[in-house]
Chains A and B, each alone.
Chain A
Amino acid sequence: MLSELRTMWEVLKHTFTKAETVQYPEEMPYLSPRYRGRIVLTRDPDGEERCVACNLCAAVCPVDCIALQKDTREDGTWYPEFFRINFSRCIMCGMCEEACPTYAIQLTPDFEMCEYDRQNMVYEKEHLLINGVGKYPDYNFYRVSGMKTATKDKGEALNEARPIDTKSLLP
């Protein structure tokens, strides 16, 4: 009985507390920068697509909502010929972002993606690509990776040692 009275008193005190509700369309809620919302494909600082079409995101995706096709540029770098995310399936788990070796795929704090037509939930590469670097401003995959491209040979990447000639006895 005493605990019931105390409960009532505690509830009554809430008459003078402010409502926690955020009145959404008029008042935007604060979303952390790490909020997992709409997925974007970022570009490296030189303005090129970061995605190298390695398919890791599509492989790790638990709902199989990512589809892409690899293609090779003239300079030897890889890029996705098409990149498609079906947002009507996507559960915003962020595993694609974790799997991505080039920081290309990133989740943003935007959740306002409602559509009247289900078909419009399928985003193609032109919808996903942004003109920015996302959360990693200085990162460029082909500058740090050992892959040989038209502009750099093996061993010329940042912080990369010269390749070792495995057939020679010299140090």
Chain B
Amino acid sequence: MSELMPVILALTILIGGVAGAAVLTWFERRLLGVWQDRYGPNRLGPFGIGQVAADMIKLLFKDDWVPPFADRLVFIFAPTAIVVAMMMGFAVVPFAPGMMIIDVNIGLLFFLGMTSLAVYSVLLGGLASNNKYALLGGLRSAAQMVSYEVFMGLSLIGVVMMSGSFSLVDIVEAQTDVWFCFSQILGLIVFIIAGIAESHRLPFDLPEAEHELTAGFHTEYGGMKFAMFMLGEYLGLMLISCMIVTLFFGGWHGPMLIGDWLPPFFWFSLKVFVVICFFVLLRAAIPRPRYDQLMSLGWKVMLPITLVNIIVTGAVLLWMEGVA
């Protein structure tokens, strides 16, 4: 049974992830509708949930076309890379005590590595399309993701220092009493911003930027290959939300003062849901920055903040050790 558990869980995550991403496309549109004083898709089925099925059918029956000028092999490979990388990232997410596929002692590094691999998808997709818009989108994503990768990793150093482990289970256990979102508030802010940039969602969807680059890196993509990019993006959104909850909001623990009187998985999903809603709110509210603004925000604001966070966290930890 114990050997079978990770397999069952992996299949559940695979199916649940894809279904969740599909439902998320509908949920996001409805939520954006609420905040923009309109309804969003509300025609098909109860609350319009049938829109998900309609979109799936439409995408599945589209012509699976590869442009003659594209680099065929890379063009087909690129969309799969992002889905595979994001799915792999879910392997280390601790949904509840014992409810995770692998508890590796470098879980955090594994997650960072997997999200970095997603860059290849966007970059190769942009290059293989052999289209100037796609190329510009690919270039932007390369620069954006590589630079935001830097302080995405650095922003988590504070969490690692406080919990003393790269294992995500240890990090969650270390938050039993106090969540890290208070002591690591700077790290949290930087991680959220870097996480949006990493999953290239609005307002940091510069690789896509439909106003300037038609559709950016996936200009030439259609049908299921386009759906794979979208799936990867929504999986990335869910993965980042899961990680924010795990690293800063106490993972499966119930809120402080209220306590753990509900199943751990419930608390985890509830928190992930709230974080996803927050990401949708960001999309609804914040306009897309210019490309140079994005870069200068990253290197001139985010990087110093993370470095200050690391120094202060280290100093406080050393001081408390000295006191104790």
**Which residues of A pack against B, CB within 8 Å?**
4, 7-8, 10-12, 14-15, 17-21, 23
Contacts and interface: CB of A to CB of B under 8 A. Distances in A.
B203 to A, nearest CB: 9
Given A12-B281, A14-B34, 16 more contacts: A4-B285, A8-B281, A8-B282, A11-B35, A11-B284, A12-B35, A12-B285, A14-B35, A14-B36, A14-B37, A18-B37, A19-B33, A19-B34, A21-B37, A21-B38, A21-B39
A15 B286 contact: no
A131 B228 CA distance: 59
A25 to B, nearest CB: 10
A20 B35 CA distance: 11
B305 to A, nearest CB: 11
Contacts of A23: 39
A17 B35 CA distance: 8
A168 B308 CA distance: 107
Nearest to A10: B285
Contacts, number: 35
Interface of B is mostly: helix
Interface residues of B, number: 12
B185 to A, nearest CB: 14
B37 A17 contact: yes
B38 A20 contact: yes
A11 B281 CA distance: 8
Interface in B24-41: 33-39
B72 to A, nearest CB: 41
A17 to B, nearest CB: 6
B282 A15 contact: no
Nearest to B282: A8
B39 A7 contact: no
- Pairs of residues from A and B, 9 with the lowest C-beta to C-beta distance, nearest first: A11-B285, A8-B285, A7-B285, A21-B38, A20-B37, A14-B35, A21-B39, A11-B35, A11-B284
A8 B37 contact: no
A7 B35 contact: no
Contacts of B284: 11
B38 A19 contact: yes
Interface in B4-52: 33-39
B34 A8 contact: no
A11 to B, nearest CB: 4
A15 B285 contact: no
Nearest to A9: B285
Given A4-B286, A8-B281, A15 B34 contact: yes
A19 B35 contact: no
Interface string B252-284: 000000000000000000000000000001101
Given A12-B281, A14-B34, A19 B39 contact: yes
Contacts of B35: 11-12, 14-15
A60 B2 CA distance: 83
A12 to B, nearest CB: 6
Contacts of B286: 4, 7-8
